[in-house]
């Protein structure tokens, strides 16, 4: 930041109530007697001292007593605001139960109601009113060692559309997963919302909406705003990985293209989704006994997620020795008009490379019959798009059809797990974007795979941070996909689960981080020399939410 901004934040030790109001350092009832005497806390807390385990038990008891997941989301947000160590201890110890609450699908509902459930600000809001002074506004952020930023402009939140500044729930949730799943310290995480307006009429007329009640910046004004923001990051937070999140298709591809060679930038919707999907395909092939070169994939949806997967699949096939033009013919797309073919006029630029010379069709079933795919991947946000007839047609063409219904949240899924297994006579390999319960079918128990980006982006981010990467080539997401696929066990596959258990997520993230960091060093994209023991360096970089002993180390923090 600017010299003025750095000087106005001298290091200071907080005591008493001020310490209890610092979520980074607060231990609540876990402060020991010695710490209470040393830090002026005697009398400010109930006298009985609790262990962290008892605090976790209390949180979970209260959480499970809530009647809705939105109420649970609010409770966890309040805990994060007052005691971050305890928040992450709770999340890590109960990740499978709580991930659907702190992220998809509950975060979608939370964003839809964000202005109505708003309690306390978290992260930075950079608005159109700040244009021309974004660096100065960013100076107000108290932490200086920022290593990862998740930023959104709120225009395409999950499958829910334009939620404007209410989309802040997404960067907050993503960064919570960075810390919980990959051990990136919370103080090194910065959620940012770029409030450039909204086209959502309900929000524009909602007095409780937290953003600017004005139409979105477009054209050159928007581009100038984004340029000013990215340049501020490059100048003042050069070590920060910048993750674009939930930008509309019209901007997502071109912003990634514009900035990927200038900074450590990636787009999780394009590249992270592609990586976890490729990993799912690689795992599925262990069940089908086929090879990647044998696959023909039909994507229902031709937005940033679908095209991102197609691009990574193409790269993976090229890496196996296939010509790029031939590799592209293994990916086929359907959009709202029908099959993407070369005879169609007015196709968006990102679709042109997958517009094959082929007869067009507007029906999914007809497209399946025509293209004869081995895998059907839904990235459309259109609930119920995978009809019984579509799944049955896939099952006629393939002994083991691969069916991925990836749209989020659950309400937007192209089909349910039960529908996929039932309509395919229990033969399909199924994965979804949001979680589904186990399915009992004719005496067999299927455990649906969740193609959750949380398997990928935390580990990729950790690898980029440890290696101090300067750029993020697509190749790193292929590396991550292979690393994720190889950690899937035979026991996972025997249950139909093509991703590891979420209980192993920190192990998975560390494994991916090592693979990504190693490739960064091999490509010469690091600011530093590789450590002697990369695996140890990754493990040592991972934050574990254990309470510190303040009798040996005082809580030193930034003064406001």
Output the domain CATH number for residue 508: 3.40.50.10380
Average pLDDT on 470-495 reads 96
Report how far residue 15's alpha carbon sits from residue 21's, in angstroms, rounded to the nearest whole number. 10
Q: Are residues 478 and 341 in the same domain?
A: no
Position 26 pLDDT exceeds 90: yes
Q: Are residues 513 and 463 in the same domain?
A: yes
Pick from 517, 487, 423, 456: nearest CA to 178: 456
* Residue-level pLDDT at 557: 55
| Contact (CB, 8 A) for 32 and 23 | no
| Residue in this structure with the two tokens 């980074």, named with its chain if needed | 24
Number of separate domains in the chain: 3
Q: Are residues 494 and 429 in the same domain?
A: no
174 labelled catalytic: yes
Pick from 225, 195, 24, 215: nearest CA to 115: 195
Q: What would the two tokens of residue 396 be?
A: 């006629």
Higher pLDDT, 262 or 5: 262
Strands annotated E in 335-384 = 375-378
Residue 46 lies in a domain: yes
Other Cβ atoms less than 10 A from the Cβ of 254: the count is 14
What percent of the chain has pLDDT above 90? Answer: 90
Q: Are residues 361 and 258 in the same domain?
A: no
Lowest-confidence pick of 343-352, 449-458, 549-558: 549-558
Pick from 8, 46, 87, 92: nearest CA to 509: 92
Q: 206: Cβ–Cβ under 8 A, 6 or more apart, which residues?
A: 115
The confidence band for 254, taking pLDDT boundaries of 50, 70 and 90, is: very high
Could you tell me the sign of the dihedral formed by the alpha carbons of 489, 281, 451, 419, in that order? negative
Q: What would the two tokens of residue 84 be?
A: 């971050």
Q: Tell me the pLDDT tens digit for each residue of 32-84.
A: 999 999 999 999 999 999 999 999 999 999 999 999 999 999 999 999 999 99
Residue 200 lies in a domain: yes
Q: What would the two tokens of residue 313 be?
A: 């699949």
Residue spans of alpha helices (H) in 266-385 = 273-288, 304-319, 324-328, 349-352, 364-371
Q: Are residues 321 and 444 in the same domain?
A: yes
Position 556 pLDDT exceeds 90: no
- Please pick, among 103, 178, 300, 354, the residue that the annotation labels catalytic: 103
Residue 548 lies in a domain: no
Q: Tell me the pLDDT tens digit for each residue of 408-428.
A: 888 899 999 999 999 999 999
Q: Tell me the pLDDT tens digit for each residue of 11-22.
A: 446 789 999 999
Report how far residue 386's alpha carbon sits from residue 532's, in angstroms, rounded to the nearest whole number. 50
Q: Tell me the pLDDT tens digit for each residue of 449-469.
A: 999 999 999 999 999 999 999
Q: Are residues 29 and 168 in the same domain?
A: yes
The confidence band for 558, taking pLDDT boundaries of 50, 70 and 90, is: very low
The per-residue b/e assignment along 264-276, b for 16 or more CB within 10 angstroms, e otherwise, is bbbbbbbbbbbbb
- The model's pTM: 0.93
Q: Are residues 275 and 207 in the same domain?
A: no
Q: Tell me the pLDDT tens digit for each residue of 264-320.
A: 999 999 999 999 999 999 999 999 999 999 999 999 999 989 999 999 999 999 999
* Residue-level pLDDT at 7: 30
Q: What would the two tokens of residue 175 be?
A: 């960064």
Q: Are residues 164 and 291 in the same domain?
A: no
* Residue-level pLDDT at 554: 79
- Please pick, among 174, 300, 354, 455, the residue that the annotation labels catalytic: 174
* Residue-level pLDDT at 159: 83
Residue 253 lies in a domain: yes
The confidence band for 205, taking pLDDT boundaries of 50, 70 and 90, is: very high
Q: Are residues 474 and 395 in the same domain?
A: no
- Domain stop point among 263, 285, 314: 263
- Domain stop point among 454, 485, 508: 454
Position 342 pLDDT exceeds 90: yes
Residue 559 lies in a domain: no
Q: What would the two tokens of residue 424 be?
A: 């395919």
Q: Are residues 197 and 286 in the same domain?
A: no
Average pLDDT on 496-512 reads 95
Report how far residue 448's alpha carbon sits from residue 426's, in angstroms, rounded to the nearest whole number. 12
Residue spans of alpha helices (H) in 424-550 = 457-467, 475-486, 490-494, 505-523, 534-541
Mean pLDDT score across all residues of the chain: 94
Position 559 pLDDT exceeds 50: no
Report how far residue 520's alpha carbon sits from residue 536's, in angstroms, rounded to the nearest whole number. 17
* Residue-level pLDDT at 28: 97
103 labelled catalytic: yes
Could you tell me the sign of the dihedral formed by the alpha carbons of 114, 183, 267, 450, in that order? negative
Residue 547 lies in a domain: no
The SS3 call for residue 71 is: helix
Look up the domain containing 277 and give its range.
271-454
Q: Are residues 466 and 441 in the same domain?
A: no
Q: Are residues 41 and 105 in the same domain?
A: yes
Residue 223 lies in a domain: yes
- Domain stop point among 263, 288, 320: 263
Pick from 148, 192, 188, 153: nearest CA to 24: 188
Residue 552 lies in a domain: no
Residue spans of alpha helices (H) in 347-498 = 349-352, 364-371, 388-397, 417-423, 457-467, 475-486, 490-494
Output the domain CATH number for residue 397: 3.40.50.720
Helix (H) or strand (E) run with residue 229 in it: helix 219-236
Report how far residue 92's alpha carbon sits from residue 414's, in angstroms, rounded to the nearest whole number. 30
């Amino acid at each position: 930041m600017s010299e003025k901004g750095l000087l106005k934040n001298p290091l200071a030790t907080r005591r008493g109530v001020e310490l209890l109001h610092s979520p980074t350092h607060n231990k609540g009832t876990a402060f020991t007697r010695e710490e209470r005497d040393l830090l002026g806390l005697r009398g400010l807390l109930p006298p009985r001292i609790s262990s962290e385990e008892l605090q976790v038990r209390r949180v979970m008891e209260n959480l499970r007593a809530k009647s809705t997941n939105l109420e649970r989301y609010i409770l966890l947000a309040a805990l994060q605001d007052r005691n971050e160590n305890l928040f992450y201890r709770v999340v890590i110890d109960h990740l499978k139960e709580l991930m659907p609450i702190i992220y998809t699908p509950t975060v979608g509902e939370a964003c839809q109601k964000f202005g109505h459930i708003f309690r306390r600000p978290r992260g930075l809001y950079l608005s159109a009113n700040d244009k021309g002074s974004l660096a100065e506004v960013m100076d107000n952020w108290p932490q200086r060692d920022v290593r990862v930023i998740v930023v959104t402009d709120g225009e395409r939140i999950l499958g829910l559309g334009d939620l404007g500044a209410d989309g802040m729930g997404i960067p907050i949730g993503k960064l919570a997963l960075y810390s919980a799943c990959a051990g990136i310290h919370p103080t090194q995480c910065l959620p940012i919302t770029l409030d450039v307006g909204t086209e959502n009429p309900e929000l524009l007329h909602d007095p409780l909406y937290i953003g600017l009640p004005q139409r979105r910046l477009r054209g050159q004004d928007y581009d100038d705003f984004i340029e000013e923001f990215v340049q501020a990051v490059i100048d003042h937070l050069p070590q920060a990985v910048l993750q674009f999140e939930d930008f509309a298709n019209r901007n997502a591809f071109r912003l990634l293209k514009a900035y990927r060679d200038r900074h450590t930038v990636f787009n999780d919707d394009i590249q992270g989704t592609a990586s976890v999907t490729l990993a799912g395909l690689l795992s599925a092939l262990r069940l089908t006994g086929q090879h990647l070169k044998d696959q023909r994939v039909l994507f229902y949806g031709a937005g940033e997620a679908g095209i991102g997967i197609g691009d990574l699949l193409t790269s993976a096939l090229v890496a196996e020795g296939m010509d790029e033009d031939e590799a592209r013919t293994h990916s086929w797309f359907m959009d709202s008009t029908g099959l993407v073919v070369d005879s169609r006029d007015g196709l968006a630029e990102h679709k042109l490379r997958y517009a094959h010379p082929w007869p067009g069709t507007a029906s999914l079933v007809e497209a399946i019959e025509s293209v004869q795919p081995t895998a059907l991947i839904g990235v459309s946000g259109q609930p119920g798009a995978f009809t019984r007839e579509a799944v049955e047609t896939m099952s006629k063409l393939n002994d083991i059809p691969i069916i991925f219904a990836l749209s989020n949240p659950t309400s937007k899924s192209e089909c349910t797990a039960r529908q996929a297994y039932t309509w395919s006579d229990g033969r399909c390999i199924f994965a979804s974007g949001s979680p589904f319960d186990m399915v009992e079918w004719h005496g067999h128990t299927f455990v649906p795979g969740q193609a959750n980006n949380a398997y990928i982006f935390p580990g990729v981010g950790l690898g980029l941070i440890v290696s101090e990467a300067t750029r993020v080539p697509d190749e790193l997401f292929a590396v991550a996909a292979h690393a994720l696929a190889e950690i899937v066990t035979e026991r996972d596959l025997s249950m139909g689960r093509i991703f590891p258990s979420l209980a192993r997520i920190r192990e998975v993230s560390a494994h991916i981080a090592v693979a990504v960091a190693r490739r960064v060093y091999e490509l010469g994209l690091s600011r530093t020399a590789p450590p002697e023991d990369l695996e140890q360096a990754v493990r040592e970089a991972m934050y574990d939410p254990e309470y510190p002993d303040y009798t040996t180390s005082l809580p030193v923090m930034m003064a406001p």
